[in-house]
Chains A and B, each alone.
Chain A
């Protein structure tokens, strides 16, 4: 078989193994459970609130929005963090020392991150649907929309996450990504309809992917009448595909260049030097 196909298959297997590992280790399990549990608890306390101008539960509206947020979180923040860590511990160098190993590594990461986002969607969806109701879980169209928004959202964010993870050389600088991301989520209509914000802020929100993944997920699971509280009173699928598509193209053009440049710099002594620095940080 040809080496590229072999590497892709090895990468898929690799992603599967790493996905499985996230279920057997405390840190990952905690991440799967902690944030969803927190969201569900907050939503439960707010269950009496309704979306302004409707009698639809605000909590129920928030559930699909949170999916949109989880996708971007996984694609951007998780990818950036993993890439940074695996650059530091030599995983990337190992991939580089293996024939077509970088390809396998990237395929593996895509499988792993997609799997992890799907799991985190389910951890919110199941208890959320049981607690609040009102979601269109029975419609096949809803699941179809979930899948395409999930995939498009990941394609739009993972390359950008990879670029961010390649550019930073210090773990604390990842905080500079995390904090603005949280701010962005706050203004992107995840927890409250974006139309409640000033118009200029709505424009800022609409530049970034998280508003659109949230909108896409709401369009999947909420009754069509809820589109009235969105900008333009519509689910705007075309615009969703457009904006996420632009992010995907920008990312896919940028990522190979940045990744290649980063990978070229990886060598035994750079991994070694970073290990020393990490040890100093840890105070050993």
Chain B
């Protein structure tokens, strides 16, 4: 069985003057899957996604989005893609239903028997949980409601590929959960390929089939949430006390180390044993901290060592 690729990027580079925002990023997104782009602010997530959306020109590299170079994407290509950007304050004077109905109209010529376009506006407000606010003026919506409207607009054309840039920023836990359900529904029932950026590891873990971690414009880790944390497991930290002295060691195989080296050699002399598996989150948080304190390059390298 051949897997069709919704997105294919090879050695993607974006420079702003002398600054390299995206530095040779390569990845693929198979049709129907959910890819999470994870990384701290300034890692190049948004720039990458904007290139794929066709909103930015790349400096180098090859990109295919639904089989089309986004720099040359026409309106029919545009109709197959949904975009939810980080912040939108437009159409404040419009009412929710009015805007969904109007924007949906543009998609009607692109509908097919298998994929009717657009979504019915009534169905859409229900899907994102805005039915009580359907008649409201958009400027009166709360931050979370506004964000859900943005998602509704992003999917009004029943896209085959949906880009979500920091979709849950500013959500309360309840709204976040509902949003996660919506993403699952889109992915499972509507066959929508989804590419989302987030700086929330937990969110990436919940939503994405595969996670790419970006830092300093490069991919420093790539795999399922599970695979990434299993790779982390090799670096568990072992602490123990012997003869009143405290020891710390990070062996490659913590279980064997404790059994053979510690108990095998010292037996009862060992006390206060502590074995802590470094979670993906720990490593990720320390990366972000180092990154934000300005040690870009070295932080990324250190993390690479940790993950591999």
Residues of chain A from 91 to 118 with CB closer than 8 A to chain B in the complex: 91, 93-94, 96-101, 104
- Pick out which of these stretches binds chain A: B84-92, B174-182, B185-193: B84-92
* Chain B window 55-99, contacts with chain A (Cβ cutoff 8 Å), 1 for yes, 0 for no: 110000000000000000001101101010111111111100010
Within the complex, what minimum Cβ distance (angstroms) separates B66 from chain A? 13
Q: Does A21 contact B (CB under 8 A)?
A: yes
Q: Are B50 and A268 in contact (CB under 8 A)?
A: yes
Q: Are B106 and A7 in contact (CB under 8 A)?
A: yes
Q: Does B19 contact A (CB under 8 A)?
A: no
Which chain B residues lie closer than 8 Å to A268 at the CB level? 46, 50, 55, 85-87, 165
Within the complex, what minimum Cβ distance (angstroms) separates B63 from chain A? 15
Q: Are B94 and A21 in contact (CB under 8 A)?
A: yes
Which chain B residues lie closer than 8 Å to A25 at the CB level? 93
Residues of chain A from 1 to 37 with CB closer than 8 A to chain B in the complex: 1-3, 6-7, 9-10, 13-14, 17-18, 21, 25
Q: Does B6 contact A (CB under 8 A)?
A: no
Q: Are B78 and A6 in contact (CB under 8 A)?
A: no
Q: Are A99 and B157 in contact (CB under 8 A)?
A: yes
- Looking across the interface, which residue of chain B has its beta carbon closest to that of A21? B93
Q: Does B153 contact A (CB under 8 A)?
A: yes
Q: Does A86 contact B (CB under 8 A)?
A: yes
Q: Are A94 and B106 in contact (CB under 8 A)?
A: no
* Chain B window 12-34, contacts with chain A (Cβ cutoff 8 Å), 1 for yes, 0 for no: 00000000000000000000000
Of A99, A266, A272, most buried by chain B (CB within 10 Å of CB) is A99
Q: Does B107 contact A (CB under 8 A)?
A: yes
Q: Are A99 and B102 in contact (CB under 8 A)?
A: no
Which chain B residues lie closer than 8 Å to A97 at the CB level? 53, 78, 81, 83
CA distance A272 to B47 in the complex (A): 13
Which chain A residues lie closer than 8 Å to B55 at the CB level? 93, 96, 266-268
Q: Are A99 and B76 in contact (CB under 8 A)?
A: yes
Q: Does B109 contact A (CB under 8 A)?
A: yes
Within the complex, what minimum Cβ distance (angstroms) separates B210 from chain A? 23
Q: Does B257 contact A (CB under 8 A)?
A: no
* A99-B78, A99-B79 known; A13+B105 contact, CB < 8 A: yes
Q: Does A271 contact B (CB under 8 A)?
A: yes
Q: Does B108 contact A (CB under 8 A)?
A: yes
Q: Are A3 and B75 in contact (CB under 8 A)?
A: yes
Q: Does B240 contact A (CB under 8 A)?
A: no
Q: Are B47 and A90 in contact (CB under 8 A)?
A: no
Q: Are B91 and A99 in contact (CB under 8 A)?
A: no
Which chain A residues lie closer than 8 Å to B165 at the CB level? 268
* A91-B90, A271-B85, A272-B87 known; A101+B106 contact, CB < 8 A: yes
Q: Does B110 contact A (CB under 8 A)?
A: yes
Within the complex, what minimum Cβ distance (angstroms) separates A5 from chain B? 8
Q: Does A269 contact B (CB under 8 A)?
A: yes
Q: Does B201 contact A (CB under 8 A)?
A: no
Q: Are B90 and A3 in contact (CB under 8 A)?
A: no
Of B56, B76, B88, B94, most buried by chain A (CB within 10 Å of CB) is B88
- Looking across the interface, which residue of chain B has its beta carbon closest to that of A266? B55
CA distance A271 to B56 in the complex (A): 13
Q: Are A17 and B98 in contact (CB under 8 A)?
A: yes
CA distance A13 to B92 in the complex (A): 17
Which chain A residues lie closer than 8 Å to B83 at the CB level? 97
CA distance A89 to B94 in the complex (A): 14
For A86, give its contact among B46, B87, B90, B108 (CB under 8 Å).
B90
Which chain B residues lie closer than 8 Å to A93 at the CB level? 55, 85, 88, 90
Q: Are A269 and B50 in contact (CB under 8 A)?
A: yes
Q: Are A94 and B109 in contact (CB under 8 A)?
A: no
For B109, give its contact among A2, A18, A21, A98 (CB under 8 Å).
A2
Q: Are B106 and A91 in contact (CB under 8 A)?
A: no
Residues of chain A from 260 to 278 with CB closer than 8 A to chain B in the complex: 266-269, 271-272, 275
- Looking across the interface, which residue of chain B has its beta carbon closest to that of A13? B102
Q: Does B103 contact A (CB under 8 A)?
A: yes
Q: Are B50 and A267 in contact (CB under 8 A)?
A: yes
Which chain A residues lie closer than 8 Å to B157 at the CB level? 98-99
Q: Are B88 and A99 in contact (CB under 8 A)?
A: no
Which chain B residues lie closer than 8 Å to A99 at the CB level? 75-76, 78-79, 106-107, 110, 157
5 CB-based A-B contacts, threshold 8 Å: A3-B110, A90-B88, A93-B88, A97-B81, A275-B87
Known: A1-B109, A99-B75. 4 other contacts (CB 8 A): A90-B87, A94-B103, A96-B55, A269-B47
The 4 closest A-B pairs by CB, nearest first: A268-B85, A267-B55, A99-B79, A91-B90
